Structure 1
Amino acid sequence: MFKWYGIFGMLIILFSEVNFYFKIEPFASWYFPIIWFGYIFVVDAIVYKLKGNSLIMSRREQFLKALLLSALIWWLFELINLRTINWHYLSTPTGYAEPAWIRFFIFRTIAFSTVLPAIIETFELTRTFKLFNKIKLMKHHKTTHKFLRNMVLAGLIMLILTAISPKHFYPFIWIAFYFILDPINYLHKQPSIIGYWKNGKIKPPLMLFVAGTLCGLLWEFWNYYAVTKWFYEIPFVGFFKIFEMPILGYLGYGPFAWELFAMYYFARSLHIGKTKHSFLELNKI
């Protein structure tokens, strides 16, 4: 049975698209977060229909926590953007909250809360297609403490270089936290990309990469038509845009999904120690 909220999500997406022409407020200004919640509801309902379990239906507490963590994570990137200045926003959403900056803060926080759940849901959907089932690493790989320390050091250096010269090193922000946190997760026996590579399991990292790229395409597509939207100012490679994003920028969405994965499990380890893998059910992959 297809869950009711999936049908509701379809109606949300349909209304949002039709409202391009009618510009009914406040829905037109709030188009971006509205359509993303519609997407999350639809994909979750599809996943539940195909698998019999899903993030919203089976792990609702994790879904709510993912919304909160997602907003916090993206506000961190907004702070970093004060230095890199790679994107800026156009227009302020309509509403009753005053002054305008309060309205904009509420809008951004709600929009930011959809990032992590969207990656999770897209990952779960791609998983039902059984992608990469036949791809396996031929051997397991050794992981030394020196290698892990060097990864953390490399991530810290990336952040420092970005702070010193954001014009040249801004791409590092989309991978630096992965380098810092994934080794820490591995050492604390949390799910980690390193752990899967070590055990010869390439499927989870590849599926996360695909999920990040698919979400990236949708982020840019829906942002392009939004009233309240962002634009990019990217040094050196700001050419050949697909929607607002230069084509080379799409290369960052896959690593960004790994970064979110590492940040999520690091946050969970601080909260409850060892997890039950309820986020992506990686023990079943």
Structure 2
Amino acid sequence: MPFRRKIAGTKFIGFHGILGFIALICSEFLMLKGVEPFSTWFYSFAWWSYILIIDSIIYRIKGNSLIINRTREFFLLMPWSIAIWLVFELANLSLKNWYYINMPDVLWIRWAGYCLAYSTVLPGIFETTELLGSLNIYKNASIKRIAITPKWYVIFYIIGTIFLIAPLVLPEYCFPLIWGGVFFLLEPINHRFNGRSLLRDWERGSPQKFYLLLAAGLICGGFWEFWNYWAITKWIY
């Protein structure tokens, strides 16, 4: 830890950000030239580059970042990210909202690509959220304090269940609801077992993290669609 404090803000600790920037530029150039593996795996190259860049910026601002200081947490996010996204992929078997094209024929290579791509979702969103927070965005936001009782858990579970079932029954009209279903089902569990919880923030009258997550979702959503547009292997709605 003293070593990390000592090198914070120096050129050395910015190395992973520089590496990410170089990787992003090179992968985009080589993808456009049709060079493998960048043509097939461009989406993953772009997202992992982005994560490195954002983490480096966060470290320079705060002297503390997910990759540098909370490495174990960072690596734990990856399997959780894959697992959560596979839930949406499972739902999409019924929704049929998107499908993939130009996938590798070899099954294990295809699944390696899935895992590389899916594992970026949570790190990308949380890194972006932390960057926005480190810039003090929504720092002074406030709401009326809310007393969270077990009744709130029931309400959240009902809404979450509806949000998951409705898209399966009426996919043409309700498919966007599925993205919120997981939040409503998991948030009461976080609050009940004293985890990091948006409900607990609302009890304190602080909506900052909620706003930051929404903003991060919009930013990441923009990059998802932008990089997917240029990728050879991609999803199509």
2:3 is matched with none
Cα offset, 1:225, TM superposition: 0.3
Cα offset, 1:23, TM superposition: 1.2
1:146 is matched with 151
2:134 is matched with 128
Q: Which letter does structure 1 place at the counterpart of 2:102? A: S
The answer to whether 1:222 aligns with 2:233 is no
- The TM-score with structure 1 as length reference comes to 0.76
Cα offset, 1:216, TM superposition: 0.6
| 1:219-265 alpha-carbon deviations (Å, 9 max, x no partner) | 11110000101111xxxxxxxxxxxxxxxxxxxxxxxxxxxxxxxxx
1:267 is matched with none
Q: Secondary structure at the match of 2:99?
A: strand
Moved over 4 A (4+): none
1:235 is matched with none
Residues 24-63 of structure 1 aligned to structure 2 (within 5 Å): 24-63=35-74
Whole-angstrom CA distance in 1 between matches of 2:146 and 2:87:
33
1:282 is matched with none
Q: Secondary structure at the match of 1:204?
A: helix
User: Unaligned 5+ residue runs, structure 1?
Assistant: 94-98, 233-285
Cα offset, 1:50, TM superposition: 1.1
User: Unaligned 5+ residue runs, structure 2?
Assistant: 1-9
Q: Secondary structure at the match of 1:89?
A: strand
1:270 is matched with none
Q: Secondary structure at the match of 1:132?
A: coil
Number of matched pairs:
226
The answer to whether 1:181 aligns with 2:186 is yes
Whole-angstrom CA distance in 2 between matches of 1:135 and 1:121:
21
Cα offset, 1:128, TM superposition: 2.0
1:78 is matched with 89
2:5 is matched with none
2:116 is matched with 110
CA contact (8 A) 2:18 2:53 kept: yes
Q: Secondary structure at the match of 1:29?
A: helix
Cα offset, 1:71, TM superposition: 1.1
Higher RCO (C-alpha under 8 Å, 6+ residues apart): 2
Whole-angstrom CA distance in 1 between matches of 2:26 and 2:52:
15
Whole-angstrom CA distance in 1 between matches of 2:37 and 2:178:
33
| 1:79-99 alpha-carbon deviations (Å, 9 max, x no partner) | 110010111111024xxxxx5
2:76 is matched with 65
Whole-angstrom CA distance in 1 between matches of 2:112 and 2:31:
22
The answer to whether 1:197 aligns with 2:202 is yes
1:15 is matched with 26
| 1:84-142 alpha-carbon deviations (Å, 9 max, x no partner) | 0111111024xxxxx523222111111100111111111111112211122222x3112
Structure having the larger proportion of residues in helix: 2
2:6 is matched with none
Alpha-carbon RMSD? 1.4
- The TM-score with structure 2 as length reference comes to 0.90
2:7 is matched with none
Q: Relative to structure 2, which stretch is displaced further, 194-203 or 155-164?
A: 155-164
1:171 is matched with 176
Q: Which letter does structure 2 place at the counterpart of 1:230? A: W
Q: Which letter does structure 1 place at the counterpart of 2:103? A: T
CA contact (8 A) 2:32 2:39 kept: no
CA contact (8 A) 2:78 2:120 kept: yes
Whole-angstrom CA distance in 2 between matches of 1:49 and 1:146:
43
| 1:132-186 alpha-carbon deviations (Å, 9 max, x no partner) | 122222x311222223212112211222223323223212211111111111221
Whole-angstrom CA distance in 2 between matches of 1:165 and 1:135:
36
Q: Which letter does structure 1 place at the counterpart of 2:186? A: L
Q: Secondary structure at the match of 1:230?
A: strand
